[in-house]
Amino acid sequence: MSARWIVLVVLAALALAAAPAAFAEGADKGFAGLGAEAAGFDRPIPGTPLVFPRDLGPHPGFRTEWWYLTANLEDESGAAYGVQWTLFRQAGAPGDEREGWANQTVWMGHAAVTTATEHLFAETFARGGVGQAGVTTQPFRAWIDDWIFEARQEAPGAGLDAPGAALSRARISANGPGFRYAFDLAADKPLVLHGDQGFSRKSDDGRASYYFSQPFFKIDGVLVLHGRKVELSGLAWMDREWSSQPLAATQKGWDWFSLHLSTGEKLMVFRLRDGTSRDFCAGTWIGADGAAQTLDRNDITLLPLSETHLAGRVLPVSWKLLVKSHGIDVETAPVNGASWMATSFPYWEGPISFHGSHEGKGYLEMTGY
Amino acid sequence: MKQVYWTLVTLLSHWRRRPANFAALFVGLAIATALWSGVQALNEHARKSYDRAASAFGGGEAQSLVPTSGGAIAQDLFVKLRLAGWKVSPALEGTVLIRGMPFLLIGIEPLTLPRGVRYGDLAGDKGFGAFSAPPGETIAAPETLRDLGAAAGAAVAIDGGRALPPIRPSVGTPPGLLVVDIGIAQALLGRPGQLSLLILQQEPDVETPPLATVTGGALRLRPPGEEEADLRRLTESFHLNLTAFGLLSCLVGLFIVHAAYGLAFEQRLAMVRTMRAVGLSSRALVAAMLGELALLALAAGSAGVVAGYWLASALLPNVAASLDALYGGQVSGRLALDGGWLLSGLGIALLGALVAAAGGLWKALRLPVLVAAQPFAWRKAQQRFMRRRACLSLFAFAASLAAYVWGKNLYSGFAVIAGLLLGAALLAPILLAGALHIGEMSARAPLAQWFWADSRQQLPGLSLALTALLLALATNVGVGGMVEGFRQTFTHWLDGRLVEEVYFEAAGDAEARRIESWLSTRPEVLALLPAARTTVRLAGWPTQVVGMTSHETYRSHFPMLAQVADSWDEVKRGDGVLVSEQLARRLDLALGSELAIPTAGGIWRPRIVGVFPDYGNPKGQLRIDIDALARRWPDAPRVTFGLRVAPDAVSRLIVAMQSQFGAQIVRIADQAAIKKISTRIFEHTFAVTAALNTLTLVVSAIALLASLTTLGDIRLAQVAPVWATGVPRRRLAQLEFLRILLLTAATAVISLPLGLALAWCLVAVVNVQAFGWRLPFYLFPGQWLEILALALLTAGIAAMAPIIRFARTTPAQLARVFANER
Amino acid sequence: MKCDATMDDAAQTERSGDTAGQARASVLRVIGLKKSYLTPQGRVAVLRGVDLSLEAGASVALMGESGSGKSTLLHLVAGLDDAEDGEIFVDGAEVTGLSDFGRAALRRETLAVVFQQFNLISSLTIRANVAFQARLAGRFDPVWQEELIHRLGLGNLLDRYPEQLSGGQQQRAAIGRALAVRPRLLLADEPTGNLDEATADDFMELALDVVAATGCAFLMVTHSARLAARLERQVRLSAGVIEKP
């Protein structure tokens, strides 16, 4: 899962809500209004099979949805880079999508580039109904302005008629002040469904979302940083998630990790910090063959190690991460401690590396600090 | 200090016994202040409104993309630009009428709108959702809500049936502006899929494809403040005109002050001499007089500022309407003024009082304590004074002539008028005195002789009031002539310009083609006359290029000022261009010469084959063949049409077109409706002038009344001996009345040539400089008679009260004159 | 002879520059005063070298034909007009050398004038008129004002305006205004010229009485030998000089 709930509060504030008071009210119900009641919207139901390529596309019956890609890259000299590409969809009101400007959908894009010394980001918005942003499935194409994440029209890789074949080859591009990137993506393994076949619980009282990933993307392409071209290659992780009321009212923020182990396995863990009761932890262990195993919440331990002062907040940018069942005992370190997304609603998101029982790299997102 | 204080108290004690004199002084100063500050209030208010409107686009700093050739932007182009990486935000502007009042409706897209752009608080306390999602919100300045008479939350109906979304007041919104979501604006304005500008969020980076590549030249980058600068330049003349008329009226008011103060000075001469004799220094005297003036300026100035505010409020609707109609300048219908304006009003009162009283103060400073007992000196001084006046008058006329010959701008135009009026004002008493002298010479009967001689003696006391009347009458003759001349010219011109029975504008080129082919099948349509337009800048001046056909309709009706023999044929061939009078004057274009016009394909040099009048258009205009336009500006929309239709089929055709095409027709109107709108704009523009004009006349009547009233007591002493020799009071009163009418009539006669000169200056100098067009100079003898009658009526009313008072003077009062005689 | 002696005294005092030694201090000294006017007929010399002196408490009647220059002399002394030559000392200060400001102060504080035409301020009440000069001079004394009003019999006229008073009453107010300031020198220019004989006598009696009470020097221009006789001394102006008797 990639629990980027925080940004949804932006959408909540901006969205074309038929009942706007609900958003204002929602702001103090769970983090970013995500604990607010979602009357009229669909709810995730356990046991619902995900269907592809349909579920790569938007789900207008649900209030909130995103297409999320993070990548750990290196240049020729081995210097670490991080890249983020995100498209959020937020429905202001339930019901059929309306025509033209009356359309109730709001789209928001975030893009970022991180190096050891710099963190550049951009944000853009679009109204639904006029074509400025959207997602189609055949072929897959998600866009806002000139930021595009689309499937390449090439023959799918061998043995990939499984879920996600439509996305086995893709390209992604975005730009912002000081940066512009275009990368090719290729995955040779199917999509990974989190939780119970894609039904991902978020709280003890049954909040949940649909959540799947493509953690096996290989990525390469060109980043133009302040006018200077850099050839980069590395690993990327795509998340797709949608829901209508994914958080409990008392959940205040979260810490989310996506890790590429050097041995080829992948690990996703998150912790939802609860203001009143026990934190909610969840995760998925993905074998090098792509087989996913949902982790027990007691199997996961997350301990903050060092703190950084950023934008008037205190953030734990280094962690100790333990997954007993797989012998994971690592300490993470950020590529750039100041990976701060000072967007309409700010959060920390950036590339990390880890050492200990295992080695590798990945992405960390922290919200609600 | 004690000296000054007691002197001030003593000076002020005079007014208690001369309330009429005080009233004249007070009213004069208040009126002068009111007229000045009223006009200033209008100007300042309008400028402030422009500023607020300009600051709506980030203090005029936001760049925007606008259609290169005018017209609308297709919404698809907005999406195309966004997808190409251009961070632009769509906006649609249009005017809606609410109970006949125009309001600028602007549709914006809150998510992409740059942060610096200030339309007020879009989010409110309910978030953006409330603004954009149906039914949405209308955001407007609190004063706009007051203009609309709407409470917060009300859904105001716009003329034609639809209602605005519930209105929400926001302090930061420019007045007169109604801000709604882009989608709502498109629906309200009946322009789905259309935008009028794209606001640039941020500069595109080097990798972003160039504008021309994305839009094919349909849009251009408008530098920040361009529109504001245009608006300022275009409205500058209007405000200057307003200022000039305000100043003129203010001067008439100051004439009253001068007259009243002069009289008071004469009346207080004995008092002042006595005070000087008992030891008042001249410095302390002047200090006390200045103190008195300051008090007066403060009191009368305050009253004047209040009256000025009232005046401005009364004129504002007309001013706002003309500014909107002529220049598209949005001025809110509610005055909001600050302390600076108040202080400047009081300042002008003080300054005016000082200027008007300067003579008195100077005399007071140099006043000999002893009265020279040589009466001949007075006569000599008077003659010297008259000679000096005549010299000054000649000097003023010469200055006026010089300004006319060498002046090149609007200021020099007003200098011509100022010199003319000043010269006439100086000369008028001399002319009047001469006329009275001739009367005196020709009189035989003793009473008649006395009548003429006495009138001459009275002239100095009345001359200021008569001068004020002269100026007022001349202004009325001049401005009245100009307005009436313009009315005739304009009506005639409209008839020539608006020959087509029906006009309409299609929503886009495709719609235009559809409508065109439909119309070609209609038997009642005699001719379909398309027009295409684009905008260019000639020497920095926004200039419309209109493409038209060389149809017989235009050949025989289109009004021209000058043209070469085969002008329409040359236009038809595509190498002739017709230029508007404004353009010809501004760029100094001559018939037959070449005009360099920038086009996408380079400079085009057609020959100027005609000059046509284009009254009321602040921009320049070129008229060329429609096909020539299409060749050089392929993107210029060809969406407006004139139709020749059998007159009895007009309304049926309009209904049929509306039901057939609905929103594909943006605007449709018949000839009569357009004429009505044009005439209304004209009326609005001159309503202000006419109002100031009338006020000037009223003020001069007050001046006359004030002079006559203050002269009343002096008259008594002059008339008593005549009464004593056996002329009945009734007869004397009649003679008094006759005298006033005679002087007024003489003044009116002098005012006529002055007024005509003024009218000529206005149409041939000021109008050309202010608006770029020259009006034919017409004479309206009927109007002169009206003004003469008005003058006599004015004088009659002004003279009535003093005469009645005189007629009611008891013999005992008259006799006391002799008792007081020494 | 008396006059000569006085003039000698004046000359002597002028030479010695010592006034303190005199039994009666000199309030006014005029030495060699000359003045002419420009008329249509040419320049006419009005004063051709006038010498005159007045001590504190003295009262002198200045007589002469119409046009002999009596009023001109008075105006020059009051600092209302400029002399061409000669010197005027009022209370030790030289009038001829004073600026307008200084002369105004002199008129305000040191001397006072009663005019033939009364010259009351028509827009002020009698009370305000009487107090006017004293207030201007900054030495208004309510007790003295009351006493003056009482002595001059103006008590029941105080709230009236000048035009509501008879000539005699107006002139009583005028002398009240002059004396309210307690001048060192009182000048009167034919104060009874506009009054009938009986009123004039009444006025003179009152005036002399009040002047005596203040102890100021009194110079009065008059045609009337009868009124002149009531003053201490009489001098006659003839052909522009003080006539030797």
- Residue B322: predicted pLDDT: 65
pLDDT for A6 beyond 50: no
Which residue range is the domain that position A256 belongs to?
Answer: 5-367
Neighbouring residues of A284: CB distance < 8 A, sequence distance ≥ 6: A1, A192, A194, A195, A213, A267, A268, A292, A293, A294, A295
Neighbouring residues of C238: CB distance < 8 A, sequence distance ≥ 6: C64, C65, C68
Residue A122, exposed/middle/buried by CB under 10 A (0-12, 13-18, 19+)? Answer: buried
pLDDT for B312 beyond 50: yes
Q: What is the dihedral of CA C218, C223, C229, C235, to 10 degrees?
A: 60
Confidence band for B51, pLDDT divided at 50, 70 and 90: low
pLDDT for B409 beyond 90: no
Separation of alpha carbons B732 and B729, rounded Å = 5
Percent of chain A with pLDDT over 70: 85
Q: Which residues of B fall within a CB distance of 8 Å from C124?
A: 10, 13
Residue finishing a domain among B672, B692, B719: B672
> How many domains, chain B?
2
- Would you call C138 and B376 a contact, using CB atoms and an 8 Å cutoff? no
HSE-CB for B705 with a 13 A CA cutoff: 22
Q: What is the dihedral of CA B317, B319, B322, B327, to 10 degrees?
A: -120
- Residue B231: predicted pLDDT: 63
pLDDT for A162 beyond 70: no
The 3-state secondary structure of chain A, one letter per residue? CCCCHHHHHHHHHHCCCCCHHHHHHHCCCCHHHCCCCCCCCCCCCCCCCCCCCHHHCCCCCCCEEEEEEEEEEECCCCCEEEEEEEEEEEECCCCCCCCHHHCCEEEEEEEEEECCCCEEEEEEEEECCCCCEEEEECCEEEEECCEEEEECCCCCCCCCCCCCHHHCEEEEEEEECCEEEEEEEECCCCCEECCECCEEECCCCCCEEEEEEEEEEEEEEEEEECCEEEEEEEEEEEEEEEECCCCCCCEEEEEEEEEEECCCCEEEEEEEEECCCCCEEEEEEECCCCCEEEECHHHEEEEEEEEEEECCEEEEEEEEEEEHHHCEEEEEEECCCCCEECCCCCEEEEEEEEEECCCEEEEEEEECC
Q: Of A81-85, B623-627, B653-657, B795-799, which has the strongest mean pLDDT?
A: A81-85
B739: closest CA among B803, B663, B809?
Answer: B803
B397: closest CA among B434, B352, B428?
Answer: B428
Separation of alpha carbons B758 and A292, rounded Å = 96
Neighbouring residues of A356: CB distance < 8 A, sequence distance ≥ 6: A329, A330, A331
Q: Distance (Å) from the C-alpha of residue A152 to the closest C-alpha of chain B?
A: 18
Q: How many residues can be counted in chain A?
A: 369
Strands B562-563 and B640-645: unpaired
For B219-275, how does the pLDDT look when each residue is reduced to its tens digit (9 = 90+)? 888 776 666 666 666 666 667 667 776 777 777 677 778 777 877 887 788 888 888
Strands B101-108 and B177-181: parallel
Q: Among all chains, which residue has been given the structure tokens 């001079």?
A: C137
Q: Distance (Å) from the C-alpha of residue A141 to the closest C-alpha of chain B?
A: 13
Amino acid letter, B233: R
Which residue range is the domain that position B645 belongs to?
Answer: 498-672
Is B211 inside a domain boundary?
yes
What's the ipTM? 0.88
Q: Output b/e per residue, A283-305; b: 16+ Cβ within 10 A.
A: bbbbeeebebebbebebbbbeee
Contact B94, B102 (CB under 8 A): no
CATH number of the domain within which A344 lies: 2.40.370.10
Which chains have 3+ CB pairs within 8 A of B? A, C
What number is the average pLDDT over the span A53-62?
A: 91
Q: Is the pTM of this model over 0.80?
A: no
Is B502 inside a domain boundary?
yes
Interface residue B115 vs chain C (CB under 8 A): no
Separation of alpha carbons B48 and C237, rounded Å = 77
DSSP for B264-308, please give it. HHHHTHHHHHHHHHTT--HHHHHHHHHHHHHHHHHHHHHHHHHHH
pLDDT for A236 beyond 90: yes
pLDDT for B623 beyond 90: yes
From C75, C108, C194, residue closest to B279, measured CB to CB: C108
Separation of alpha carbons A154 and A143, rounded Å = 19
pLDDT for C133 beyond 50: yes
Question: B640 in helix, strand or coil?
Answer: strand
Interface residue B287 vs chain C (CB under 8 A): no
Question: B103 in helix, strand or coil?
Answer: strand
Residue finishing a domain among B188, B207, B224: B224
Q: Let me know the angle formed at the C-alpha of C64 by C59 and C67, rounded to the nearest 5 degrees.
A: 125
Q: Among all chains, which residue has been given the structure tokens 């604990």?
A: A35
Contact B771, B413 (CB under 8 A): no
Please name the helix (run of DSSP H) or strand (run of DSSP E) that holds residue C177, with its range, or none. Answer: helix C167-180
Contact A141, A56 (CB under 8 A): no
Whole-number Cα distances in Å, B485 to B752, B772, C235: 16, 16, 82
- Residue A130: predicted pLDDT: 93
- Would you call B277 and C121 a contact, using CB atoms and an 8 Å cutoff? no
Q: Which residues of B fall within a CB distance of 8 Å from C105?
A: 279, 281
What number is the average pLDDT over the span C69-91?
A: 87
Separation of alpha carbons B525 and A160, rounded Å = 67
Instruction: Determine B/C contact with 3+ CB pairs under 8 A as the test.
Output: yes
Neighbouring residues of B659: CB distance < 8 A, sequence distance ≥ 6: none
Separation of alpha carbons B796 and B258, rounded Å = 22
Higher pLDDT pick, B44 / B328: B44
Q: Phi-psi region for residue B517, left (φ > 0), alpha (ψ -120 to 50) or beta?
A: alpha
Confidence band for A256, pLDDT divided at 50, 70 and 90: very high
C44: closest CA among C240, C242, C241, C243?
Answer: C240
Q: Which residues of C fall within a CB distance of 8 Å from B13?
A: 121, 123-124, 128
Contact C59, C220 (CB under 8 A): yes
For A95-127, how does the pLDDT look when each residue is reduced to its tens digit (9 = 90+)? 888 889 989 899 999 999 999 999 999 999 999
Is B784 inside a domain boundary?
no
SS3 content of chain C, % helix, strand, coil (to 5): 40, 25, 35
For B708-738, how does the pLDDT look when each residue is reduced to its tens digit (9 = 90+)? 766 666 677 777 777 777 777 888 888 888 8
Separation of alpha carbons A183 and A85, rounded Å = 11
Q: What is the largest CA-CA distance in chain C?
A: 53
Average pLDDT, chain B: 80
Question: C48 in helix, strand or coil?
Answer: strand
Six-digit token string for B550: 């060389």
Interface residue B273 vs chain C (CB under 8 A): yes
Six-digit token string for B344: 């400047």
Amino acid letter, C183: P
- Residue B251: predicted pLDDT: 73
- Would you call C136 and B280 a contact, using CB atoms and an 8 Å cutoff? yes
Q: Distance (Å) from the C-alpha of residue B277 to the closest C-alpha of chain C?
A: 7
Separation of alpha carbons B756 and B778, rounded Å = 10
Separation of alpha carbons B794 and B788, rounded Å = 10
Residue C85, exposed/middle/buried by CB under 10 A (0-12, 13-18, 19+)? Answer: middle
pLDDT for A16 beyond 50: no
Instruction: Determine A/B contact with 3+ CB pairs under 8 A as the test.
Output: yes
**Domains of chain C from N-terminus onward:** 2-242 (3.40.50.300)
Q: Let me know the angle formed at the C-alpha of B613 by B610 and B617, rounded to the nearest 5 degrees.
A: 125
For B511-537, how does the pLDDT look when each residue is reduced to its tens digit (9 = 90+)? 888 999 999 898 889 999 998 888 888
> How many domains, chain A?
1
Average pLDDT, chain A: 84
- Would you call C132 and B276 a contact, using CB atoms and an 8 Å cutoff? no
End-to-end CA separation in angstroms for chain C: 7
- Residue A182: predicted pLDDT: 96
Q: Distance (Å) from the C-alpha of residue C124 to the closest C-alpha of chain B?
A: 7
Q: Which residues of C fall within a CB distance of 8 Å from B286?
A: none
pLDDT for A281 beyond 70: yes
Q: Which residues of B fall within a CB distance of 8 Å from A16?
A: 128-129, 132-133
Separation of alpha carbons B511 and B668, rounded Å = 14
Q: Let me know the angle formed at the C-alpha of A297 by A296 and A298, rounded to the nearest 5 degrees.
A: 90
Work out the number of other CB atoms within 10 angstroms of the CB of residue B399.
17
Higher pLDDT pick, B795 / A239: A239
Six-digit token string for A365: 């997102």
Phi, psi dihedrals of residue A105, rounded to the nearest 5°: -90, 140
Is B710 inside a domain boundary?
no
Amino acid letter, A72: N
Contact A145, B87 (CB under 8 A): yes
Question: B546 in helix, strand or coil?
Answer: strand
HSE-CB for B205 with a 13 A CA cutoff: 14
A306 beta partners: A318
Separation of alpha carbons A323 and A329, rounded Å = 7
**Cα-to-chain-centroid distance, residue B55:** 25
